[in-house]
Amino acid sequence: MNKDIILLRTVEVAAIASYKYIGMKDKNMVDQAAVEAFEVMLRNERGFKLKVVNGEGELDNAPMLYVNQFLGDLNDPEVPTFDVSVDPIEGTNPAAYNFAGSISTISISRENTMLQMPEMYMEKFFVKDKYSNLINLSEGIINNVLRLQEFENRKDLRCIILDKPRHNKIIQELSKLGVVTRLIQDGDVLAAIDVVNGEADFVYGIGGAPEGCLMASLALASGCKMQSRLINYNQIWPNEKETESRMEKENAWMSKHNIDTSSILSDYDLVSDERTRFFAAGLTAGGSLKPIKYKKGKFFVNGFMASHGIVRNFSSIYDVNKVNNLKPDIKYLFDKYKR
Ligand code: VTB
């Protein structure tokens, strides 16, 4: 079967599996259900191999979807391998507390084209396709916004930004410039999907670096644009116990890759493959992706896919009885994660 459909189905089923734990205040349970769904859905697939480049962490602390794990067709040396960035649940907090923002997502690209990102913060600027040639993050976000406003000849651009204390000042500045901000608690990958779907003009803010690869794939696959810059832990959390040890790891990663916190990274620096593909499904979702609904034996899930400049939004219906008859792997997950 076509790997695009397989991956789309995988994120949809991962979202359905973790639906069991929505609102139960337990981030790990939500995540584990989705992680198992990925493993089960991909283990028997033939014709391609996936190598986890950005996943749940290193093998020591992540038993599944760990960095360098291979999934898919492990027995046939002839099949092509793809690099993968995967976040079984991006936004475990919104899922655990049942507010908008969580999705299940994966992106793939040709082997050895994805940068393995450090566990680190990243300043990200993701703009709609029309602005692709207009941005330059090295000039700072305000100068970029002024340029976009001039280009549009209006001030009320629509921006999505994480509502974190670290963004208080910039949120004020953007508002003063006349930008209409939408504040989200979590989930900047979903926010980028909203830009692709035309619900906002740009996403700006400091979030996770590994998710940066997913957003880079989305930008390349949809014709949008992303620029980013790594941010040291002490810039966000100067006084934490782990600040020093995290900084050591961050700095080691950066010197190994000849990147520092002034390097502006384009989407292509993170994923050097124009043919990268991006997949997502809404769990608690929000914005342009609807949350999962369950009614009378059917799951209603919003899926999303971007590749080669083609953007697709799906409304998928999983009839539990029919699927159970036809797909033993999904039946196993439906039974185990029945709510
Ligand atoms: C979160 C999350 C984002 O980055 O903000 C996280 O909601 C890091 O920020 O979607 P905190 O440490 O302040 O939570 C993301 O996961 C991804 O960029």
Q: In the predicted model, is pLDDT for residue 1 greater than 70?
A: no
pLDDT in tens, 248-288: 999 999 999 999 999 999 999 999 999 999 999 999 999 99
- Closest-CA residue, ligand 1 atom 16, reads 208
Q: In the predicted model, is pLDDT for residue 59 greater than 80?
A: no
- Closest-CA residue, ligand 1 atom 8, reads 207
> Considering 229, 249, 270, which residue would you say is the last residue of a domain?
270
What pLDDT score does 332 carry? 96
Residue 251: domain span: 121-270
Residues 266 and 137 in one domain: yes
Domain of residue 78, CATH code:
3.30.540.10
Which one, of 128, 123, 149, lies nearest residue 227 by Cα?
A: 123
Residues 322 and 216 in one domain: no
- In the chain, DSSP assigns E strands to 49-54, 70-72, 81-90, 103-110, 121-127, 158-162, 180-184, 202-208, 225-231, 265-266, 277-282, 293-295, 298-307, 310-319
Residues 149 and 247 in one domain: yes
Which one, of 138, 139, 188, 135, lies nearest residue 157 by Cα?
A: 135
Separation of alpha carbons 52 and 114, rounded Å: 10
Answering whether pTM is above 0.75, one says yes
Ligand 1 within 6 A of CB of 187? yes
Which one, of 11, 16, 23, 144, lies nearest residue 84 by Cα?
A: 11
Distance 160 CA to ligand 1 centre (A): 14
Residues 42 and 157 in one domain: no
